[in-house]
Amino acid sequence: MHLPRPPLPTYDDVAEAAHRLKGMAHRTPVLSSSTLDVLLGAQVFFKCENLQRMGAFKFRGAFNALVQFSEAQRQRGVIAFSSGNHAQAIALSARLLEIPAVIVMPEDAPLAKIAATRGYGAEVVTYNRFTEDREAISRRLATERGMTLIPPFDHAHVIAGQGTVAKELFEDVPHLDYLFVPLGGGGLLSGCLLAARELAPQCKVVGVEPETGNDGQQSLNAGHVVRIDTPQTIADGAQTQALGALTFPLIHAGVSDIVTATDAQLMSAMHFFAERMKIVVEPTGALGLAGACHGGVRLQGKRVGVVISGGNVDMTRYAQLLTAASAD
Ligand SMILES: *Cc1c(COP(=O)(O)O)cnc(C)c1O
């Protein structure tokens, strides 16, 4: 017997998302480093979503979801639970579309993040991470206030929006052999797979997870979603416990491989980005490069795309991570 599965997004949804995002999201630049190319014996093209609005690709999926709200949904507003980039992406998109937004955040979230989310005009509701369940709180609020809950990755419109990252890269850089994509809950990776299947079917797409949080790798091997405890890693954007009902089947069907990166490898990649390329990349944003360098994939002579997924990192923490990296 088959369980009912929600309809999966397709490449057409990615193409439509690209239209909706035109003039709203930045078409981010593609950068390269001749030093790295010599080191790897490959040509590497970085898609720089650290330079996206609000500092990460998540703006694409959030805006693509909110812009499709009905008039009734717009009036009642949007709710999201996140302490990270999804919260800010929803808050910014809601402000641009004049939709009320509630973001559910842990009460011990960094003050800067709470302030940034409020700064975009969202109402922040805090909860105790140790005694309360954020999903339950969000669902209760959504029901009470008639708001629409937009999850961070397992949503067709979110996935389609994230897929525009790879769509732009394939349009700007033809004939890629590989594409390395940071992997948390899989919204970014599954969207990129939809774009690859249509625009670059020869390109092998590889997901990169933190070593301690390799639930995606385990799920791929098992052939079903494997859930893990919240992993300890500096890659806070990829501390997810499991892939979703939409993202798993898309990833299972299309991904070439899933590899992992250690925290030390992430710090060293961040250091490289700062020193050689003069760009600020958050730990999760460095997964793609770390995976390309250390994931055991032979890249000599290949054309390699790498998604830099975000650049939001507290400056004090950033300084600490760079210092720890250069001490190696
Ligand atoms: C959310 C996030 C990811 C992971 O994206 P998923 O769609 O959950 O796989 C990677 N990098 C950054 C910077 C993020 O904010």
pLDDT digits (tens, 9 = 90+) for 59-110: 999 999 999 999 999 999 999 998 789 999 999 999 999 999 999 998 888 7
Say whether 123 is catalytic: no
The ligand 1 atom nearest the CA atom of 158? 7
pLDDT of residue 206: 98
Say whether 223 is catalytic: no
C-alpha to C-alpha distances, 72 to 17, 77, 146, nearest whole angstrom: 21, 9, 9
Q: Name the active-site residue from 83, 93, 190, 219.
A: 83
Q: In this structure, which residue's CA is closest to atom 5 in ligand 1?
A: 184
| Choice from 155, 181, 183, 260 to test ligand 1 binding pocket (greatest atom count within 8 A of CB) | 183
pLDDT of residue 163: 99
pLDDT of residue 83: 74
pLDDT of residue 108: 83
Sheet architecture: strand order including 78-81: 123-127, 101-106, 78-81, 148-149
Given a contact cutoff of 8 angstroms between Cβ atoms, the answer to whether 212 and 28 are in contact is: no
Say whether 213 is catalytic: yes
Given a contact cutoff of 8 angstroms between Cβ atoms, the answer to whether 325 and 272 are in contact is: no
CA of 1 to the centre of ligand 1 (A): 33
Count CB-CB contacts under 10 A for residue 272. Answer: 21
Say whether 263 is catalytic: no
C-alpha 210/C-alpha 3 separation (Å) is 30
Helix, strand, coil distribution of the chain in percent, nearest 5: 50, 15, 35
pTM of the model: 0.96
* Both tokens assigned to 68: 């499709």
Given a contact cutoff of 8 angstroms between Cβ atoms, the answer to whether 113 and 105 are in contact is: yes
Ranges of the chain whose pLDDT falls below 70:
1-5, 327-328
DSSP 8-state secondary structure symbol assigned to residue 286? G
Stated as kind and residue range, the H or E segment containing 158 is helix 156-172
pLDDT of residue 111: 80
pLDDT of residue 328: 57
pLDDT of residue 164: 99
Name every protein residue with a CB atom under 6 angstroms from any ligand 1 atom.
Answer: 56, 58, 84-85, 152-153, 162, 182-189, 237-238, 240, 282, 284-285, 309-310
